[in-house]
Amino acid sequence: MDFDLGPPNGVGPLRIGMTRHAANTALYSLRDPSAISESDRPGQHVFRPSGLMISIQCMRDMLEAIELGRPSSQTDRVLFQGVDVFALPAREVVRCVGELTSIEEDPDDDASFIAPDLLLSFWRPFAADDEPEEEQGYYFSSVLLARPGYYDTPAQAAERLQQSS
């Protein structure tokens, strides 16, 4: 199954801003009824047979972030504008996404990248750009799609609030 990232709106039936109840229902709908994982946690995350992890984060009864973890097989793909974010090497993903929008290295983690205008964040535990055998560092391990302001510092949040009034 293909999961198309559609920032800042969501992924598949998961829509940023939906109620916690609606998000739980949407998350549940992404399970494969023929292969339910014992690791599934209702209202938190599900694992598909491919190993793809889909996680939701709600605050104030509203879905604010969706995270997808790299599957172990290609039966599920996570795409952003046609770019398969888990099948391509991390540096290639950064290059391709960079052709579509600004993307920058996370100042706190040089193995991770943020596309701030889209509220997409790409993570891997370490960088191993020249080591394809080091899958955890060569490919991204997760991608997070979030609501506007998700990464704001308190000062940025206050500025965002002031701009919207």
Q: How many separate domains does the chain show?
A: 1
Enter the DSSP assignment of 19. Answer: B
pLDDT of residue 35: 83
The runs of H, that is alpha helices, within the chain are 20-29, 90-98, 135-138, 154-164
Q: What domain range is 14 assigned to?
A: 2-164
Ordered per-residue pLDDT tens for the chain, 165 residues: 999 999 989 999 999 999 999 999 999 999 988 888 888 888 899 999 999 999 999 989 999 999 999 999 989 999 999 999 999 999 999 999 999 999 999 888 889 999 988 889 999 999 888 888 888 899 999 999 998 778 766 676 667 667 766
CA separation for the pair 11, 1 (Å, rounded): 12
Query: Which amino acid appears at position 29 of this protein?
Result: S
pLDDT of residue 160: 63
Q: Are 58 and 66 in contact (CB under 8 A)?
A: no
pLDDT of residue 149: 76
Q: CATH no. for residue 45? A: 2.60.460
Sign of CA dihedral 116, 122, 124, 125: positive
pTM of this structure: 0.89
CA separation for the pair 124, 111 (Å, rounded): 6
pLDDT of residue 165: 63
46: number of Cβ within 10 Å: 21
